[in-house]
Amino acid sequence: MTDPTFTTLAVTDSGSRLSITLDRPEERNALTFAAWDELDQVMAPAEVRDDLRVVTLTGNGPAFCAGVDFGAIGASLEAERGSYPSFIRRWANIVERFERVPQPTVVAVNGPVVGAGLELALACDLRIASDRAVFAMPQMRMGIVPDVGGTSRLARATGEAFAKDMILTSRLVGAEEALRAGIVSRVVPHGELAAELEEIATVVENLPWPSAYFASVAVDCGPRLDSRRAADLEAIADQVMLRQDEVWTRISEFMAAKGLRGVTRDSG
């Protein structure tokens, strides 16, 4: 079902999949206060939905996102001069929703992505890109530090040296370099991006729930733990999953496909 109530987003909710498209193509999908508010309205309920399996995000038009629409928020920036703008903390919380929701989030970067738009993309679990995508963190040209989680998430994705290079020089990074650096995991021809997003979302959508959530948590937390605790986290996740009939059915199907004897929950 497509929700007609949004003015800056196109949102479709199938029940198991939530598809979000940044939808201000004439402004290159730059983020206004209204856009941030609508992203919040869409993502806040997702955190407590048991039916939802995957969230996708992309942009309409030639760009994914041109960052913050400074023209639209200029008056508020002027009013906030001299004090810490509390709305930036709110924006950071909205970006964090994409990282915090239990459902995997998949972003398809369909074109240039700049500043806060890149910070938003970096919060997603899986990031793929068109070969036309260009990545930039130009905030330092204005004397502004990326302020909705971009410094830490970029460094986690690429390593500190690359993140500092990209942020301090404000340089443009093409799709292939972004792939090598770890900003995205796949680059596909522009005309194939929608199909690639559909394929990935379908695979994730059909995984036994909540295995995708457990796997994401293990990947996110494991590198911060010693190897024993990381293995313990994996074991705890599988203790939960192995109590589900669907998992045993899939194990049997997998074994049968390999020509091996099937197993059941009671197999010794």
Written as one string, the DSSP assignment of 150-171 is: HHHHHHHHH-HHHHHHHHHH--
User: 202: how many CB neighbours lie within 10 A of its CB?
Assistant: 11
Domain membership of residue 266 (yes or no) is no
Predicted local distance difference test score (pLDDT) of residue 4: 77
- Domain shared by 121 and 80, yes or no: yes
Q: Would you say 211 and 218 are in contact if contact means Cβ atoms under 8 Å apart? A: no
pLDDT of residue 86: 79
Q: How many CB atoms lie within 10 A of CB 119?
A: 27
Q: Are residues 119 and 62 in the same domain?
A: yes
DSSP designation for 8: S
Domain edge (last residue) among 164, 184, 205: 205
Q: pLDDT tens-digit profile of 36-57? A: 999 999 999 999 999 999 999 9
Predicted pLDDT at 268: 42
In a domain, 69, yes or no: yes
Supply 77's token pair.
């920036």
Total domain count for the chain?
A: 2
Instruction: Look up the domain containing 232 and give its range.
Output: 211-257
Rounded CA-CA distance 223/37 in Å is: 33
Q: How many Å apart are CA 261 and CA 25, to the nearest integer?
A: 54
Do residues 61 and 108 both lie within one domain?
Answer: yes
Domain boundary among 179, 205, 231: 205
Residues 17 and 102 reside in one and the same domain: yes
Kindly state whether residues 127 and 231 are assigned to the same domain: no
Regarding whether 215 and 200 lie in a shared domain, the answer is: no
Q: What single-letter amino acid sits at 19? A: S
Calpha distance 156→174 (Å, rounded): 19
75 with 172, same domain? yes
Residue 267 lies in a domain: no
Domain end call among 174, 190, 205 = 205
DSSP 2: E
pLDDT mean by block of 10 residues, the chain; 268 residues: 86 97 97 95 95 98 94 65 74 96 97 98 98 97 93 97 98 98 98 98 96 95 94 96 94 86 56
Residue among 97, 83, 89 nearest 46 (CA): 97
Do 220 and 194 belong to one domain? no
Same-domain status, 146 and 193: yes
Please indicate, yes or no, whether residues 126 and 166 belong to a single structural domain of this protein.
Answer: yes
